[in-house]
């Protein structure tokens, strides 16, 4: 079980995803999972997510047709294994490594 589940809804966020993913994965806590839900993106967000998933087993990529960020968060919550849950939007990032 992961200590922390970071949930990230993604809709057409390809321009920001790399920074966001890197900031989440650089956290000091080693027991984390990053659940990214592609919410029907029409840009290359899904490709960015799957490429990063291949490089880091802590990333879980889910996809759904566009239902909005609330539905994407709920889907991720149903799959989360962490004792603690946090949310990070695809166009945001953590400013430090111990958030």
Question: What is the mean pLDDT of each successive set of 10 residues along the chain, which is 99 residues long?
Answer: 91 97 94 97 98 98 98 98 97 92
Is residue 7 within 8 Å of residue 35, measured between CB atoms?
A: yes
pLDDT at 99: 85
pLDDT at 86: 97
Is residue 62 within 8 Å of residue 49, measured between CB atoms?
A: no
| Residue 26, Ramachandran bin (φ over 0: left; ψ between -120 and 50: alpha; else beta) | alpha
Q: How many residues does the chain have?
A: 99
Helix (H) or strand (E) holding 75: helix 69-79
């Amino acid at each position: 079980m992961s200590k922390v589940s970071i949930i990230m809804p993604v809709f057409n966020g390809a321009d920001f995803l790399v920074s966001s993913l890197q900031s989440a994965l650089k956290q000091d806590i080693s027991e984390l999972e990053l659940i990214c839900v592609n919410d029907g993106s029409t840009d290359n967000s899904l490709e960015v997510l799957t490429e990063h998933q291949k490089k880091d087993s802590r990333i879980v990529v889910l996809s759904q047709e566009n239902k909005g960020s609330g539905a994407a968060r709920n889907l991720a919550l149903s799959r989360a294994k962490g004792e603690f849950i946090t949310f990070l939007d695809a166009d945001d990032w953590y400013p430090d490594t111990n958030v």
